[in-house]
Structure 1
Amino acid sequence: MRPAAIFTGLTGMVVVAGLLMAGEARLRGGAVGEETTSAEETATAAEAAPAAGKAAAISDDQAEMIARSAEPAVPPAPDPGGDVAPKPANIAQKAETTAGQAAGPAAKKPMELARPMVENAGMLSFGERKLQLTGIVPTPADRICGPAGRQWPCGMMAKTALRQLLRNRSVSCDVETAEWKETVTAACRLGTQDLGSWLAENGWAQAAAGSPLAGIAETARHAGKGVYGADPRRK
């Protein structure tokens, strides 16, 4: 055999061997790459799992907020000063109140009463009917005031003072009817002058317990007016 033929044969074998080794290397590299890729994907999936859990928790909170926002809003409390339509219950209650007021006694209104007689400082009479002035304690006509030796008929003087104020003129009194029986208590005025206030202010009668006239009656007492002073006849 010629040397050239032998050299050519050897060269071909080397080439074939090189090709086989290159193919094997490629096969091994592909397997390693696939294993690396699988490992990376597994690690990525493991890292993504906690993140997915966190995302799920956030989604729950958001879902709760969305559910709350979907609930019907509570209507605001009505403004007392605003124009709010009354509820049926309020209408019924108002109707009952109105009915109760209508069924109650008639409201007192001023009535003109002619020529009152003065029984004492605080009590008027109209024939057989008597009227006690509101807010004061009538001063008995037989009351005596002053220390021993200087006593004076303060009750009669108080009666005379009221009688001189009225002088048989008509008065306006807050009574339910002009035809009452026995004794009633009411406020009376001579023009714009309230008779009870006049008696308390001038010391001719004491204020009743809890009366709004207590202040002016106390002022009259400190000033020594009326029954709290000396006999006006000695002045």
Structure 2
Amino acid sequence: MLAFLLLVEPPALPEGRAGDTAPHQAEPVAEAQQTADAEPVASVIAAPRPDQIRNVSPEGVSAPRVSGFLKRIEPSKRYQELKNPPVEPVPDGPLELFRVEIIDSGHIRSGRMKVTLANITGLAPEATCKTRSGTDWPCGMRARTFLRGLVRQLRLDCVKQQEIGPQEIVASCRRGQIDLSARLVRYGWATPAADAPQHFQELALKAKEAKAGQWQDEWVTDLPDSGFDDSGVSALPDLENLTQEVVEWSQSAAPGLAGQDLVGSDSGAATLVPNQ
């Protein structure tokens, strides 16, 4: 009998016994439980404690009692719209601009809208130019002053050519019959853009030849005495009926323009004719 028991193989264990499977199943359960316990701990650590919350309630208003942890939420859609309102595109039709601010000789602003004058490259306000003796003079400030005198507080009519950003366009603007871009090039306070019409190049060439605007080689700091005696002079009669024209004082500072007038439309090349 003993020999028989030694030779016979022991019976196989039944599948699914608790003693064998329990250790294997316990490991995933324990890992999941540790992960679940770690998540609230991490969120609790990140959230501010009630005693660390800054009270920003105005005077006379009682702050609510905080007994638990706070949770930060995203601002409402309505608040975001009020804080950053959507910017409407600039209409394509003709634009009438009032109370225009002059940024420099190539850019103007009306309200929230910034306009880059078409077909030209203006001078920055801090730009300087060289005289014949090598002295710097503030041609950028002078160019801006010229455009200010041209625009003043009058209405501008602009036609949008391109929208380059929110409330920012490239446009051709006129004050009455005067094209601002052409007038700036004509008197040497701006240069034509690479894609500007041909007559802009002709206006720039004439300005260089006449040493007008930024091309002048002498810088006059003192204005001559006008010799006008205004003692006892009241308001000029029919002043409101006078045609508002810009005193183009840049000619007086350009030796090449002495004794000559620039005539002709800004839409074409300027012509130099001697004064009669």
Greater helix content: 1
Greater strand content: 2
The structure number with the bigger radius of gyration is 1
Structure showing greater relative contact order (alpha-carbon pairs closer than 8 Å, 6 or more residues apart): 1
